[in-house]
């Protein structure tokens, strides 16, 4: 009888505990992971044959090789560690540079693509057919993405989903604006599609001209920031070929100086580049 009473008492406590207020479910993370951001970076750079893990592996391998080479030359571990870290960042910086170059290239050809769309619409083609024709007659940089759009649309017949796939394939901010304008024109309908495309083409040309002008002016500031960052480290690399010249850095105080200088240099570079780009962002938003 005693075990039965104990069992019933424990069951009652369990039911009371389960009937209490439940703990709130953990909130899902809103931020993208490093892998997702790297995947987006590769897509925006137009690099399709490289995965984020391959990029991380290449960065790690390059950093390790440079670390061993500089360590063997200077015999100062902290110098090898710093230059190994700089070398590890090099592949990512190259991908970002490729993304910037691709963005400029696409920005220059989008007005031509929109003009081709307007010509196709005036010739009596529907909007999906005119977009599909860009895969054959459009600018070379955009043909593969619009060719995939045509394949998706012929396979599914769903214009909205095909536009979403087109945005992912383009991975371009100007392309996002064009796609959303076309989506709105498709949903709203009407006879003003040709006028919309001509207005969009004019806007894209003015935007590209404004950005090119401001980026040319700001290029001097960005290049000066890069030179100011690279000059002392280039000098340190030259001195590292003579171990006696960098022997002072093979101490705790020397390591603190080098690590602090590296952090301050990177922070100053990011601040200067951000300040240089602010006028461009404000001018374009206006």
- Enumerate the domain spans of the chain: 52-285
The structure's pTM equals: 0.75
80, with CB counted inside 10 A (0-12, 13-18, 19+), is: buried
Residue-wise pLDDT for 171-219, tens only, equals 888 888 888 888 887 776 656 777 888 888 888 888 888 888 877 777 7
Per-residue pLDDT tens digits for 210-253: 888 877 777 777 777 778 778 888 888 888 888 888 888 888 88
Query: Using CA atoms, how far apart are residues 196 and 127, in angstroms rounded to an integer?
Result: 12
Q: What b-and-e string marks burial along 5-33, b requiring 16 or more CB atoms within 10 Å of the CB?
A: eeeeeeeeeeeeeeeeeeeeeeeeeeeee
Q: Using CA atoms, how far apart are residues 165 and 184, in angstroms rounded to an integer?
A: 16
- Per-residue model confidence as pLDDT tens digits over 106-151: 888 999 999 888 888 888 888 888 899 898 888 888 898 999 999 9
């Amino acid at each position: 009888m005693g075990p039965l009473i104990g069992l019933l008492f424990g069951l009652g406590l369990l039911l009371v505990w389960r009937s209490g207020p439940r703990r709130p479910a953990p909130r899902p993370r809103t931020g993208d992971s490093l892998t997702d951001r790297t995947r987006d970076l590769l897509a925006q750079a137009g690099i399709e044959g490289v995965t984020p893990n391959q990029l991380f592996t290449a960065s790690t391998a390059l950093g390790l090789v440079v670390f061993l080479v500089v360590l063997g030359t200077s015999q100062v571990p902290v110098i090898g560690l710093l230059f190994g870290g700089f070398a590890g960042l090099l592949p990512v910086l190259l991908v970002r540079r490729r993304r910037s170059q691709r963005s400029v290239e696409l920005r220059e050809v989008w007005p031509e693509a929109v003009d081709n769309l307007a010509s196709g619409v005036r010739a009596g083609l529907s909007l999906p057919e005119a977009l599909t024709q860009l895969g054959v007659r459009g600018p070379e940089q955009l043909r593969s993405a619009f060719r995939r759009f045509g394949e998706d649309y012929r396979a599914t017949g769903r214009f909205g989903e095909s536009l979403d796939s087109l945005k992912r394939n383009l991975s371009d901010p100007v392309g996002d604006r064009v796609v959303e304008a076309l989506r709105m024109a498709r949903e709203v309908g009407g006879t003003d599609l040709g006028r919309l495309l001509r207005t969009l083409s004019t806007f894209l040309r003015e935007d590209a001209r404004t950005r090119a002008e401001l980026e040319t002016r700001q290029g001097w500031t960005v290049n000066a920031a890069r030179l100011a960052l690279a000059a002392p480290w280039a000098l340190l690399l030259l001195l590292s070929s003579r171990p006696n010249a960098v022997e002072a850095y093979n101490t705790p105080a020397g390591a603190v100086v080098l690590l602090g200088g590296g952090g301050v240099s990177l922070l100053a570079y990011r601040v200067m580049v951000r300040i240089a780009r602010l006028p461009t962002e404000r001018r374009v938003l206006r």
